[in-house]
Amino acid sequence: MTTLRNLPSVEQLLQIESTAHLIARFGRPLTLDAIRITLDEIRTRFKSGLLVELPSTEFILTQTESHLTAWTNSTLHPVINATGVILHTNLGRAPLSDATIRAMDSVSRGYSNLEFDLETGKRGSRLIHAEALLQKLTGAESALIVNNNASAILLVLSALANKKRVIIARSQLVEIGGGFRIPDVMKQSGAKLVEVGTTNKIRLSDYESAIQESVSNKLLKSPSSAAGLVMRAHRSNFKLVGFTEEPELKDIVETAHKFDVPVVDDLGSGALYDTAKYGLAHEPTVQESMQAGADIICFSGDKLLGGPQAGIIIGKKVLIDKIKKHPLARAVRADKACLAGLSATLTHYLKDEAEREIPVVKMMSLTLKQLQGRAEAWRDELGYGEIESGLSTVGGGSLPDESIPTFLLSLKVKSAEKFLKALRKNNPPIIARTEQDKILLDPRTVLPEQEGALLVGLKNLLKDSVG
């Protein structure tokens, strides 16, 4: 009769050669933990009657290895983006240029002068890295890099408007991805939200009335009611259309400056170039905000800029210096890899090579002829599929409802949903989209170096899925 006494002990399993290989791969403590858990699982199943016979030693070690593999495998994987969404937030937004990756790798492999002044041999500041590049590119007096744009806004409001009024148009109290709401951020910073205008109509007089009221309150010895800032928040992920009215940024700035109130422009997507060049709507640029006279401008590094995740704050030196000294600045500061990568990305713009080197810009600049050629080459290599015209989108909370014509490889399969799932299980995973029971793959967002892996994965999966 089989009993649990027949189950090998941990010590017995440790003497087996296969276990030695597991220890070499995963380390002794973790392997011991996996063996114990595997044995406990077997005991539980045997006692409950789910197991009639005890498994072999080989099976026990196979299960042990499965546990070890599951525990040590990374949950973050490179994927092939064939969706046609250039800035796919769920897929990590902007892919990086080769120079950016090399810069991040270089400072990460060893030590760096992150906070060391090579000229004096004394302690330096990480805040200088990338600042000169941003000054040169935008004309800003000063700059500060933090870990993302949400942090940038929180820091700016905390440093410049704590217990003060921040005047903002009601139409700009937006929520972006992940439940990030402008009003909640203002509340967290200690700023007092003052909404002006209506959802669809905001006039310059609305701003002026709110600022005048704040100035009057200050004169009446109510400092907490004073206007700390006027803020404009760019509606990155939706459009306001129809019966609408909004003043230009330069007019808002002029009105605020009459009362010595600074203006913060939250641009979000952070374009340094005119997106209209690629057949898209014009996205407000950082340079335009500077020219309009905004005192502080905040934007993302990993959206239209095409760099690593970062929050970029540029503007008047007197205000940036105050922001740099705020305690929260240390909590949200950028690390060495971000600063190195962002510097490399900004250098592409400085050298006028963004269209050639930065993947996001390169994807937008691809011609229909180039896209059609790639899609046809895929079809010819697979010996299957049809070429269809379609649309790519920018995504990433940038240019909502805007699209660019493209060509797609269309695959008719037995079950589109099952095929999409199989694509996601491929190594590397392939993320595509489906329409009218067809699999659609957009060459615009597939990096050239990933084409080989894409075609190998498709060939293997099409063998059993063509209907």
Q: What is the 3-state secondary structure (H, E, C) of 416-449?
A: HHHHHHHHHHCCCCEECEEECCEEEECHHHCCHH
* Domain identity same for 120 and 232: yes
* Domain identity same for 376 and 346: no
Asked if 398 and 236 touch (Cβ cutoff 8 Å), the reply is yes
Q: Mean of the per-residue pLDDT values for the chain?
A: 90
* Domain identity same for 344 and 368: no
Q: What's the CA gap between 245 and 159, in Å, rounded? A: 31
Q: What is the pLDDT of residue 229?
A: 92
DSSP secondary structure code for residue 295 in this structure: S
The CATH number that applies at residue 375 is: 3.90.1150.180
Q: Which structure tokens are listed for 122?
A: 């004394």
Global pTM reads: 0.90
Number of domains in the chain: 3
**Residues 243-273: tens digit of each pLDDT:** 667 889 999 999 999 999 999 999 988 899 9
Q: Which structure tokens are listed for 290?
A: 């500077």
On whether residue 93 sits in a domain, the answer given is no
* Domain identity same for 424 and 342: no
Q: Is the pLDDT of residue 220 over 60?
A: no
Nearest to 334 by CA among 162, 114, 123: 114
**pLDDT category of residue 61 using cuts at 50, 70 and 90:** very high
On whether residue 467 sits in a domain, the answer given is no
Asked if 263 and 255 touch (Cβ cutoff 8 Å), the reply is no
Q: What is the pLDDT of residue 203?
A: 87
The 3-class SS string of 24-51 reads: HHHCHHHHHHHHHHHHHHHHHHHHCCCC
The CATH number that applies at residue 179 is: 3.40.640.10
* Domain identity same for 273 and 413: no
Q: What's the CA gap between 270 and 354, in Å, rounded? A: 14
* Cis peptide upstream of residue 428 (ω within 30 degrees of 0): yes
Burial bucket for residue 188 (CB in 10 Å: 0-12, 13-18, 19+)? exposed
**Structural domain boundaries enclosing 102:** 98-357
Residues 6+ apart with CB under 8 A from 93: 87, 302, 303, 309, 396
Place of tokens 């894409």: 454
On whether residue 381 sits in a domain, the answer given is yes
Q: Is the pLDDT of residue 242 over 70?
A: no
Q: Is the pLDDT of residue 466 over 70?
A: no
Bigger pLDDT: 213 or 314?
314
* Domain identity same for 213 and 237: yes
Q: Can you count the helices (H) and strands (E) in the chain?
A: 19, 15
* Domain identity same for 134 and 54: no
Asked if 222 and 265 touch (Cβ cutoff 8 Å), the reply is no
| DSSP H or E segment with residue 354 | helix 354-357
On whether residue 23 sits in a domain, the answer given is yes
Q: Which structure tokens are listed for 402?
A: 């805007």
* Domain identity same for 152 and 232: yes
Asked if 76 and 386 touch (Cβ cutoff 8 Å), the reply is no
Q: Is the pLDDT of residue 222 over 80?
A: no
Q: Is the pLDDT of residue 238 over 60?
A: no
In 346-397, beta strands by DSSP E: 386-395
Helices (H), 116-230: 131-138, 149-161, 182-189, 204-219
**Residues 154-205: tens digit of each pLDDT:** 999 999 999 888 998 888 776 666 566 777 777 788 888 888 887 788 888 9
Neighbour count for residue 12 (Cβ, 10 Å)? 11
**Residues 10-24: tens digit of each pLDDT:** 999 999 999 999 999
* Domain identity same for 30 and 150: no
Q: Which of 357, 389, 416 is where one domain is finished? A: 357
On whether residue 429 sits in a domain, the answer given is yes
Average pLDDT over residues 418-424: 95
On whether residue 92 sits in a domain, the answer given is no
**Residues 74-111: tens digit of each pLDDT:** 999 999 999 999 999 999 999 999 999 999 999 999 99
